Amino acid sequence: MFRVLASWRFSLALGFSLVLAYLANAFPADANPDWQIPNPAWLKSHASQKPMVFINRSQHKAEWEKLPSFWNESKETIKSALTGEMQEVAVVKIKLPMGITQNPPIPLENAPTVAKWKLGKKIYFDPILSSDGTVSCSSCHHPAKGFTDQSRFSTGIKGNVGGMNAPTVYNSAFNLSHFWDGRAISLEDQSQGPPQNPLEMFDGKGAPWHKAVERMNARPDYVEEFRAVFGTLPNRDGAAKAMATYERTVVTGNSIHDRAETAMRKRVEEAETGKLEVNNKDYEKVLQEAAAAKDVNALEALKLKNPSQAEIAEAAKGINQGRALFFGKARCNGCHVGDSLTDSQFHNLGVGVKNGELPKDALGRYGAQPTGHKNPEHLGAFKTPPLRQLLHTAPYMHDGSEDTLEKVVEFYDKGGNANPFLDTRMRDFTAEKGNGKVIPLALKLTIEEKASLVIFMRALNGEPADPIVTVLPGRGK
Ligand code: HEC
Ligand code: HEC
C-alpha cells in the first residue's frame, strides 16, 4: 500500500516537474524579455478588461457624492470606436478620498483596467521578481506599515541593507518624479528599478530582468494574464505597467484637516461671505462628527478616545494653531503645498550634514541630473515628501535620521543644518549680510508652537487604503 502511494506520488511529482520544465522552456530563447509586439489574437479588448475611472470631489462633485464606496462596479455609455453606436460598458469607478482634488497623472499608453490592476497587485505582493524568491515590493512597502517598512534602512535580498529610507507608496501616484533624487519620471519607470538593484531584489547573477521574466513565463497563471492584458508573454514593459496601475490606487485622504477644509468651504458658501480659511470651529465640528461616528482612526491620530467637548475644543485649538504656523510663521508651505503637501521639488535642508560638510555619497538631485543639466542648487537636495501618513511611516527624512515628528520640528526650528548649498528658503539672509557665511534661519518657536505643529501634522494623517487594495484574495491581511 505504502509503495503504491509512494510511486503514485513519485509519478505525480515527475509529471509536475516535466510540465514545469516544459513551461520553463516555453519562453522562446529569442523572445525579448523587455517588450514584444502584441498579438491581437491573445489580447482581450479594453472594454472586456473593464476600464477603471478615477472620480475626485473637486472635479466631479455630484457624481462623487453619489458613489457609495472606494471601489464602485458601474456602467458607462460610450460610443463604439468600430461601429459608432452607443454601447453600455462595465467600468470600475474609483472614488478618490476627500482632500484629493485631482486625478493621478496616467501615461496615455497605460490606460487602467481591472484586469491590469489585478495582475499588478499580484506582482506587487509576489517575491517572484527577486532572484531567490524572498523579497517582494511589499517587503519594503507593506500595507500594514503605511506602505513602508518602518525601519531606518531597508533590508533586501540576502539581508543586504541599503542607505536610503523607503518612502511610502501612498499617494506616490501624484508625485511628479520618484525616488528621493527624482531619477524616475513615472511609476512605470520606478518599478523597473528594484528588480535590478543588488541591495533590493537582485543577486547579481546574469541579466536581472531576463531572469525575472523567465520565472514569470514558467508560471501558467502569469502567461495567461499577460496574454489577455497585453497580448504578449510576461515581459518587463507589461510588469511595470501593471504594477504602476496597482500603485495608483494606493491612496489616502479624508484626514481631519481635509474634513475641516470641506466644512469651511460649505460654511463660506452658505453664508455667501467670509474668508476661505479654516478656523477652530471647523475643526471642532468635524471632530464632533468623528466622535459621534466612533471614527477610531481619525481620533487615535490625535490621541483622542471618547473625547469630551472640552477635549475636542482643546484639540481643535491646537490643530488650528499648528495650521496657522505651518502656513505662516514656520513657512512649511514654502515646500509642503497641495493635496499631498509636497511641491514635488528638491531642496537641500542639510539632512545628514556633519560639521558643515555634505556627505560625499549624498549628492541628492545633483547626482541624478544628466551631464549637461547639473544644477549646483540641487547639490544635497532631496524630494519634498508628502505628509499624509506620517503616523505610520517613521522614521523620517531620506536617511531616516529623525525618528519622531517632535524631532523633525526641532530640526526645522534651528533652520536645518548649515552647508554651502542650503536651500535659500532655509537661510537667514539678514544675519548673513556681509560675513560670507551660510546661516540657517532659526524659527524661534515656543514649546507650545512646536507642539501644535506636531498636532497639525497628526491631523493630516489620512485613512488607510481600502481593503480591496490591501487584502490579498484568500490570504487575509
Ligand atoms: C529592499 C527594499 C525595497 C524593495 C524590495 C522595493 N523598494 Fe521601493 N523603495 C525602497 C527604497 C529604499 C526607496 C528609496 C530609494 C531612493 O530614493 O533611492 C524606494 C522607493 C520607491 C518608490 C518611490 C516613491 C516616490 O515617489 O519617491 C516607489 C513608488 C517604490 N519604491 C515602489 C516599489 C515597487 C513597485 C517595488 C517592487 C518592484 C519596490 N518598491 C521594491 C525600498 C524597496
Ligand atoms: C525648503 C523646503 C522645505 C521647507 C520650508 C520645509 N520642508 Fe519639510 N521637507 C522638505 C524636504 C526636501 C524634505 C526631505 C529632506 C531630506 O530627507 O533630505 C522634508 C521632510 C519633511 C518631513 C519628513 C517626512 C518623511 O516622510 O520623511 C516632515 C515631517 C516635514 N518635512 C515637515 C515640515 C514642517 C513641519 C515644516 C515647517 C516647519 C517643513 N517641513 C518645512 C522640504 C521642506
pLDDT tens, 270-304?
Answer: 999 889 999 999 999 999 999 999 999 999 999 99
The stretch 134-145 carries a mean pLDDT of: 96
- The pLDDT of residue 111 is 96
Is residue 26 scored above 70 in pLDDT? Answer: no
- pLDDT score, position 316: 98
For 78-113, what is each residue's pLDDT tens digit?
887 778 888 899 999 999 999 999 999 999 999 999
| Mean pLDDT of all residues belonging to the chain | 92
- Give the nearest ligand 1 atom to 181 CA: 17
Residue of minimum CA distance from atom 43 in ligand 1 = 140
Average pLDDT of span 213-241: 97
Could you tell me the three cell numbers for 17? 516537474
Ligand nearest to the CA of 168: 1
How far, in Å, is the centroid of ligand 1 from the Cα of 56?
Answer: 26
Say yes or no to pLDDT of 24 above 80. no
Torsional sign, CA 412, 175, 102, 63: negative
Task: Return the residue whose CA atom lies nearest to atom 43 of ligand 2.
Answer: 335
Ligand 1 cavity residues, CB under 6 Å: 129, 135, 137, 139-141, 154, 156, 162, 164, 166-167, 169, 172, 175, 178-180, 187, 190-191, 194-195, 200-201, 243
Distance CA 12, CA 200 (A): 36
Ligand 2: which of 326, 387, 455 to mutate, judged by most atoms within 8 Å of the beta carbon?
A: 387
pLDDT at residue 1 above 50? no
d(CA 256, CA 338) in angstroms, rounded, equals 16
Instruction: Specify the pLDDT at position 476.
Output: 44
How far is the centre of ligand 2, averaged over its atoms, from the C-alpha of 382 (Å)? 10
Separation of 403 CA from ligand 1 center, angstroms? 20
Mean pLDDT over 242-262 rounds to: 98
Q: Are the C-beta atoms of 340 and 174 separated by less than 8 Å?
A: yes
Cα radius of gyration (the chain)? 25
- Exposure pattern of 149-181 as b/e (b: 16+ CB <10 Å)? bbebbbbbbeebeeebbbbbbbbbbbbebbbbb
What is the 409 CA–ligand 2 centroid distance (Å)?
A: 9
Pocket probe for ligand 2: among 332, 358, 405, 453, the residue whose CB has the most ligand atoms within 8 Å is 332
Instruction: Decide which of 474 and 143 is more confident.
Output: 143
Q: What is the pLDDT of residues 394-433, one digit of tens each?
A: 999 999 999 999 999 999 999 999 999 999 999 999 999 8
pLDDT of residue 14: 54
Percent of the chain with pLDDT over 90: 80
Confidence band for 475, pLDDT divided at 50, 70 and 90? low
Location of C-alpha cell 531597508: 154
- Report the pLDDT value the prediction gives residue 206, as an integer from 0 to 100: 82
Quick: pLDDT tens for 407-418. 999 999 999 999
Specify the range with the lowest mean pLDDT, choosing from 143-152, 156-165, 240-249. Answer: 156-165
More confident residue, 434 or 112: 112
Closest ligand to 164 CA? Answer: 1
225-245 in b/e burial notation, b at 16+ Cβ within 10 A? bbbbbbbbbbbbbbbbbbbbb
pLDDT of residue 477: 42
Going by pLDDT thresholds of 50, 70 and 90, the confidence category of residue 4 is very low
Predicted pLDDT at 13: 61
**Looking at residue 270, what is its pLDDT?**
93
Predicted confidence at residue 254, as pLDDT, reads: 97
Q: What would the mean pLDDT of 197-208 be, rounded to a whole number?
A: 85
User: How many angstroms separate the CA atoms of 192 and 184, rounded?
Assistant: 9
Q: Which residue has the higher pLDDT, 26 or 376?
A: 376
Distance 191 CA to ligand 2 centre (A): 25
**Which of 57, 10, 47, 463 minimizes the C-alpha distance to 265?**
57
For ligand 2, pick from 179, 336, 345, 446 the residue to mutate: most ligand atoms within 8 Å of CB: 336
Q: 263 falls in which pLDDT band (50, 70, 90)?
A: very high
Distance 447 CA to ligand 2 centre (A): 19
